[in-house]
Amino acid sequence: MSFLRRRKGTDSSKSQNLRCNIVKEDEKNNLYESPRKESYNSKKWSCWDKGLTVNHPVVFVPGIVTGGLELWEGHQCAEGLFRKRLWGGSFGELYKRLEVIREASIKLTDFYMKLIPLCWAQHMSLDNETGLDPPGIRVRPVSGLVAADYFAAGYFVWAVLIANLAQIGYEEKTMYMAAYDWRLSFQNTEVRDQTLSRIKSNIELMVATNGGKKVVVIPHSMGVLYFLHFMKWVEAPPPMGGGGGSEWCAKHIKAVMNIGGPFLGVPKSVSGLFSVEARDIAIARTFAPGFLDKDVFGLQTFQHLMRMTRTWDSTMSMIPKGGETIWGGLDWSPEGSSFNSGAKTLRNNSINNTDQIPNINLANMKNVNYGRIISFGKDVAEAHSSKIERVDLLDSMKADMLANLTNCDIWIEYHDIGDHRIKAVADYKVYTAGSILDLLHFVSPKLMARGGAHFSYGIADNLDDPKYQHYKYWSNPLETKLPDAPDMEIYSMYGVGIPTERAYVYKVTTATDCSIPFQIDTSAEGGSEDSCLKGGVFSADGDETVPVLSAGLMAAKGWRGKTRFNPSGIPTYIREYSHAPPANLLEGRGTQSGAHVDIMGNFALIEDVIRVAAGATGKELGGDHVYSYIFKWAERINLQL
Amino acid sequence: MASNFLRQRKPYYVESTINCSSSSDQKLVNLSFGINETRNQTKKRQAKEHHGRRSCLDSCCWVTGYLCTTWWLLLFLYHCCLPFTVVHEVPELMPAARLKREGLKGIHPVVLVPGIVTGGLELWEGKPCADGLFRKRLWGGGGFTQLLKRPLCWLEHLSLHNETGLDPPGIRVRPVPGLFGADYSAPGYFVWDVLVKNLAKIGYEGKNLHMAAYDWRLSFQNTEVRDRALSKLKSKIELMYRANGNKKVVVVPHSMGVAYFLHFLKWVKTPPPMGGGGGPGWCSEHIKAIVNIGPSFLGVPKAVSNILSAEGKDVAYFRAMAPGVLDSGTLGLRALEHVMRVSRTWDSVVSLMPKGGETIWGNMDWSPEDEHVCDFSKKRYFRLSPSDNNVNNSDAKQVFRVKDPVKYGRIISFGKAASVLHSSQLPTAVLKEILHMSASRNFNSSCGEAWTEYDEMSRESIRKTGAADKAYTATTLFDLLRFVAPKMMNRAEAHFSHGIADNLEDPKYNHYKYWSNPLEMKLPDAPNMEIYCSYGVGIPTERSYVYKLSPSNKCKRIPYQIDTSVDGEDGSCLKSGVYFADGDESVPVLSAGFMCAKGWKGRTRFNPSGINTYVREYQSKPPTSGIKSTAHVDIMGNIALIEDILRVAAGATGEEIGGDKIYSDILRMSERINLRL
């Protein structure tokens, strides 16, 4: 899964860990007029104010693909890899093994090169039907802080934050990494590993051993959804829930500081599920350059990856939620066309003066229909809806149920659906966030049937309907109520200013029988230089992975004040961090980065986190801190509150 | 040095021990250190020794050097020639594979409690010299190698505060939590590796297998005060109990972990603030069995020699962990003093001191092991003939024996004479007087930074304590230690006690300092719980020592050392200044087995609810390495032991796995010990 892909190679974690004086005297920096700025330049180990000390215990909830997985039981081909990391960390052993084999047996190359990566993919896959372990294989999450401090060697995730917290006195007893198997659906982590119970018990322990101080939870990326699920789970009665009672969150949680949270899903996950796009496999490339560069999987790499990732239920938690109400219809979208990557002015109260905003980029605005998440052909993407001829998907679904038998050795679900269906998919031309679900149901019925039991993507009409007590609704903020905890605080912290995938232009491939029949039409380019359409992808404002809309809407509107989603009126704060690329190579991934993962090394964000952990409230941090047009967009969304 | 608690001493080498024992330990390290590198080190060491100051040993060193180089060469070849995919799962090594076929399945969650020096430590905050090592291992693999270049810095970070026994200002070193990832292979961890692998085979994984890591340098109660380690363990056990369908846990402590878990048992049922507030029923509700491996219930004599003199050949383990530290010129000849200074800040070492005094360990003229015959050279287990069974006669029989029995009771004697003469011929102890006159201490500030507490003592008093013909038993020993290491004993005795309780109902025994001493605590009220004492036998184990004053009177030297020139005749228990008894190389049988064999057997005052105890001995068979080994650490890879643990974890009771299994004289020894039950 390419959810968090890596594009820059330089490692900067070390320099950031211990050198605190790298804050550049940059203009943009002045936005953060914090008294702490001088202290960045002070000596190591004492970067933070003396006044900041350990106060609230901290819980980290890692996101998708950043947590490590290790092997507990495997097939013959994985012998000797017991408790070695299959994912994350340094991939040390796996990699070494690969290298050794490569060098030692050049003659046998073909044999081994096929065997080892296949073996790996086999072990990383889950069971196609149950979404749990395949027989004879047990791959389990690594526990402890080491689980997600670095994703790959030198590629930090939590390490910088941990190092900074340690400087003000945090240690093992006051920090906890809630590692879970990110491949499973959320409820299955409890079924298989009792992960949710563990998190509950650990939070209770930390609160008890730290003098009743409530915890500050810091979920990142998919961890945000996971923790939403947790908050519902913990208060739900057994057997489905944790039986903590309706007071649990109020008693144990001070604040939830969501970093880069895809509350309402990410369009990228659609393209991931739909076609495992080439530019999206960067992650796989990161951990094992050999796999892809040396054609280990041969031409069938994508099919292999697709088959593997399609067994992961968790990928379905990030399909866009809320349908057309949130993501826009055929001719309408909350963003309009206002994305302008140069816009970096702080506009905390932008609601009052946004009237002129739609006029900024009038030239580009005309043809961007973000609401059409997938369109077949550039002309279709740009034409008005009345001009598009569409063949109804459901009709063709009934028409043809014949699968063509294939002799491809790589089996994916596409081979079960016939050519007619593929044609039907393309004939429907345009898919919005609502119809995208139909599309996915159409092309991969098994996957969606499995996922549908664990996740839901709609908007609740009546939250008191008893059906919403089922766990499949718990990770969808539009179908759950926040816990009754008026003293808790919810932060939405995310980067802005980076073009983020929002909608796609697709084409049907004609290549071979065995390949994936759909592909992003990379030839589709926008007209002008700063057009939103590049290489078949329409971009909007965001942190490179999660669009602002998804990360900020709940805090900006859905949960703001007392709403039906937030009955107790938990205060919410939006903290945006404007992206500034690293000033030079030495700086590596930058101290002001807003990118989805790199933001974990953003000093401003770290400062916010540390101050909250040391006891500050959202008001004391300065309340909302907004660069994007999120409030304006939120106004346009017609969501019943 | 406490760290050598787990070393592998080869008593048959005298001069070559330094090199060879270390190389045998390094075998364990070479997973993390390149083999070529270590070979170079060996050569370097060899070269250094050649030009070294002790020129009289030249020839000896050359021989040793050659031996070691050959050894490394063989080792190197051994590792190179193995197939690149080292298959750990030798079928022989995996009893679990067989048991799984028999249908064995893990039922009870398992908690592992590591012993001293086997847990990893990592740096959370340090002095400038340790920059860049944040969250790197200081102990046990990882970033450890980087610190070898800065041995003094490393030692500084491993020290605790001299007075509080907690963190020194500005330094925070913390235990590495959880089941260490196997990618951190380090000497201490192979200990658990085989066991964990086997457990995994029958279905264990993160949710029902837990490693209770704690900072092994601290006193037990301080692990709770500083790190909340006991609370964590409690919460973890409760969670595993609930999450696995209310199945009680099986606890597997090793070495010092045994005493730690005893402490936990008392802590958990004691009300807060001193305890965990679990209530009296906690243990019976949550714990199925405690399988103690190599338990040092009553302490180990080795701890005494470590505290007293950080003996030269005892630093093998330290050396294995950090070859550079001791070899480097920075420390030079004073390495031992440095090591001593560091280890004396560790309270936990004191928990390993012999407990129970003369009642258990024997007095000047008597010891429970009296009839032990030291014929280890033939590696044959000595068994007493049935006629010797009459315990009542044993005292009388001694008189008629040709050879006087070894006086194991004298744990420290100065001079060989003092270790064999009858007590009436020895001068009475005058320690008290010396203590009085010690007011005239000459604190010698010129001794520089490497001072040990010895430098604060006058040479005269040292000479008196160590005067020839003096001997110390397990009881008087403490007077000696209080004299030579007053600060350490002051600090540590607030946390540990080594006596025998007269009246267990006395409210003073509610204090935590008594909790880790099985002779001063009652087992919890949990009649369904089971306690196993599993340990190796048949390996010579240090039991008492012959000391001498070191010839050098210069400051900065440790004034005592083991008199390695003292040797008994063939077949005697005395070898180079050390009397050996039966045991697992570190823990004598007496300490490991006594509580299960007698102290807790049946319903006693130490075990009021009559918890079942089982003695499981594992006999050492030649060759004493690998899967059949029973040495203190190696026993964790012993297949018989692993099979027992797996069966217990799968629900078997002690009776079902065969009840007691005894090879040693433990029952006879226990009978001779006159302990009120």
User: Is the per-residue pLDDT at B223 higher than 80?
Assistant: yes
Q: Which residue has the tokens 């740096």?
A: B123
Q: Which residue has the higher pLDDT, B158 or B461?
A: B158
Count of CB atoms within 10 A of residue B73's CB? 13
Q: For residue B309, is it within any domain?
A: no
Let me know if B146 is exposed, middle or buried by CB neighbors in 10 A (0-12, 13-18, 19+). Answer: middle
Let me know if B656 is exposed, middle or buried by CB neighbors in 10 A (0-12, 13-18, 19+). Answer: exposed
Q: Which of B478, B475, B147 is nearest to B323 (CA)?
A: B147
* CB within 8 Å: A89 and B181: yes
Q: Which domain holds residue B138?
A: 121-175
**Residue B166 touches partner A, C-beta closer than 8 Å:** no
Choice among B167, B347, B370, B584 that is catalytic: B584
Which residues lie below 8 Å from residue A553, measured CB to CB, with a gap of 6+?
A263, A264, A326, A630, A633, A634, A637
With contacts defined as CB-CB under 8 Å, which chain A residues touch B242? 197
User: Is residue B227 annotated as part of the catalytic site, yes or no?
Assistant: no
Q: For residue B133, is it within any domain?
A: yes
* CB within 8 Å: B124 and A204: no
DSSP assignment of A364-376 equals HHTT--TTEEEEE
**Candidate from B87, B135, B207 with C-beta closest to A194:** B207
| B18 confidence band (pLDDT: 50, 70, 90) | very low
Digit-coded pLDDT (tens) for B551-579: 655 555 667 777 777 777 666 777 777 88
Q: For residue B143, is it within any domain?
A: yes
B291, B648 in Cβ contact below 8 A?
A: yes
Q: For residue B310, is it within any domain?
A: no
* CB within 8 Å: A17 and B134: yes
**Residue B177 touches partner A, C-beta closer than 8 Å:** yes
Per-residue pLDDT, B73: 53
**Candidate from A80, A82, A166 with C-beta closest to B85:** A80
Per-residue pLDDT, B268: 92
Taking the CA of residue A298 as centre, how many other CA atoms within 13 Å lie in the half-sphere pointing to its CB? 12
Taking the CA of residue B246 as centre, how many other CA atoms within 13 Å lie in the half-sphere pointing to its CB? 2
**Candidate from B132, B177, B243 with C-beta closest to A144:** B177
Q: For residue B479, is it within any domain?
A: no
B469, B427 in Cβ contact below 8 A?
A: yes
Q: What percent of chain B has pLDDT above 90?
A: 13
Q: What is the pTM of this model?
A: 0.80
* CB within 8 Å: A144 and B178: yes
* CB within 8 Å: B172 and A171: yes
What is the tally of structural domains in chain B? 1
Per-residue pLDDT, A555: 92
Choice among A133, A181, A543, A624 that is catalytic: A543
Per-residue pLDDT, A11: 37
Alpha helices in B556-629 (DSSP H): 589-594
Taking the CA of residue B339 as centre, how many other CA atoms within 13 Å lie in the half-sphere pointing to its CB? 30
Dihedral through CA B241, CA B247, CA B252, CA B256, nearest 10? 40
* CB within 8 Å: A141 and B206: yes
What six digits make up the tokens of B639?
Answer: 């297949």
Per-residue pLDDT, A173: 87
Question: Between A301-309 and A109-124, two packed helices, what is the crossing angle to 10 degrees?
Answer: 20
ipTM of the complex model = 0.78
Digit-coded pLDDT (tens) for B408-452: 888 888 877 777 777 666 655 455 555 554 444 444 444 444 445
**Residue B91 touches partner A, C-beta closer than 8 Å:** no
**Candidate from A80, A92, A101 with C-beta closest to B87:** A80
* CB within 8 Å: B181 and A104: no
> Between the CA of residue A377 and those of A161, A521, A524, B464, what are the distances in Å?
44, 7, 8, 99
Let me know if A29 is exposed, middle or buried by CB neighbors in 10 A (0-12, 13-18, 19+). Answer: middle
Per-residue pLDDT, B448: 46
| B626 confidence band (pLDDT: 50, 70, 90) | low
What's the CA gap between A76 and A78, in Å, rounded? 5
Q: For residue B154, is it within any domain?
A: yes
What six digits make up the tokens of A208?
Answer: 């008890």
Preferred mutation among A195, A205, A206, A234 to probe B, highest tally of B CBs within 10 A: A205
Which of A134-143, A520-529, B129-138, B357-366 shows the lowest mean pLDDT across its residues? A520-529
Question: Between B220-227 and B256-269, two packed helices, what is the crossing angle to 10 degrees?
Answer: 60
Q: For residue B197, is it within any domain?
A: no
What six digits make up the tokens of A608?
Answer: 């916010």
With contacts defined as CB-CB under 8 Å, which chain A residues touch B81? none
With contacts defined as CB-CB under 8 Å, which chain A residues touch B227? 171-173
Section B215-228 average pLDDT: 89
Q: For residue B155, is it within any domain?
A: yes
Digit-coded pLDDT (tens) for B97-116: 788 888 888 899 999 988 87
The nearest alpha carbon in chain A to B276 belongs to A209
**Residue A550 identity:** S
User: Is residue B534 annotated as part of the catalytic site, yes or no?
Assistant: no
Ranges of chain A whose pLDDT falls below 70:
1-50, 80, 88-117, 151-155, 275-303, 305, 337-368, 388-420, 510-516, 526-531, 582-590
Which of B254-263, B319-328, B344-353, B357-366 shows the lowest mean pLDDT across its residues? B319-328
User: Is residue B632 annotated as part of the catalytic site, yes or no?
Assistant: yes
Preferred mutation among A45, A46, A83 to probe B, highest tally of B CBs within 10 A: A83
